Chains A and B, each alone.
Chain A
């Protein structure tokens, strides 16, 4: 009964490949996020979706394309992987709409460690 789940947990791949990371939340939340944690453990927002609609896109390369088939899922597809894409990617979810409900908190998934060789 994990609240926010991600698959896979580990992903090792070659440069130039295309890969996807999946995220699902069973909390009934409206908003989902992708964060990237680099090798220095710095966390930065990448995308946010609210009810399947993109609301945040933080100057992420076009090679990254989030897709939200429904409000419980937010997948991250990465084309033409580069060495610099190696990181831990965290999915998160929260209740509320576009930050208007400021009392909501974000729940994080376990992370996907992506290694590009």
Chain B
């Protein structure tokens, strides 16, 4: 089935460690890619997005993601995490002519130890 997959369910890191969260999708054609973050008890906030152009996109709070078309991947990275990055991270895909709906991965819970 076509889907969005996030490889890690729960990631635990110490502060200053580097982060990489995997995201793969299985849709062909034109897609837009997003990473959203959900801090505990809060709503989803957009971290970054890819529509076209440079496959390395930079977002807020020092996050970046790389779109690798041949691998259908859009992994999220941060060189040095902070305790305040503790949250749930969602990868999402939007396909052309699908009414704008976002198809989400199952989420990755990131816990950063101080």
Residues of A within 8 A of B (CB): 31, 33, 35, 40-45, 48, 50, 55-56, 58, 90, 94, 96, 98-100, 102-111
Task: Judge whether A108 and B99 touch: CB under 8 Å.
Answer: no
Asked if A45 meets B101 with Cβ closer than 8 Å, knowing A99-B96, A102-B51, A105-B49, the reply is: yes
Q: B42 contacts which chain A residues (CB < 8 A)?
A: 110
Q: B12 in the interface, Cβ–Cβ < 8 Å?
A: no
Interface size on B, residues (CB 8 A): 28
Task: List 20 A-B pairs, Cβ < 8 Å.
Answer: A31-B100, A33-B100, A42-B104, A43-B102, A43-B104, A43-B107, A50-B99, A56-B100, A90-B44, A96-B100, A98-B100, A99-B96, A99-B98, A99-B101, A100-B97, A105-B34, A105-B49, A106-B46, A108-B36, A111-B43
Q: B103 in the interface, Cβ–Cβ < 8 Å?
A: yes
0/1 per residue, B68-102, Cβ < 8 Å to A? 00000000000000000000101000111111111
Query: Once A and B bind, how many residue pairs between them come within 8 Å at the CB atom?
Result: 73
Task: Judge whether B106 and A99 touch: CB under 8 Å.
Answer: no
Q: B30 in the interface, Cβ–Cβ < 8 Å?
A: yes
0/1 per residue, B19-59, Cβ < 8 Å to A? 00000000000101010101000111110010100000000
Task: Judge whether A40 and B106 touch: CB under 8 Å.
Answer: yes
Our pick among B49, B94, B98, B104 for the contact of A44 (Cβ within 8 Å) is: B104
Closest to B104 in A: A43
Task: Judge whether A55 and B90 touch: CB under 8 Å.
Answer: no
Task: Judge whether B44 and A48 touch: CB under 8 Å.
Answer: no
Our pick among B38, B96, B104 for the contact of A102 (Cβ within 8 Å) is: B96
Residue among A31, A45, A102, A107 with the highest chain B CB neighbour number at 10 A: A102
A55 CA to B30 CA in the complex, in Å? 20
A55 CA to B100 CA in the complex, in Å? 9
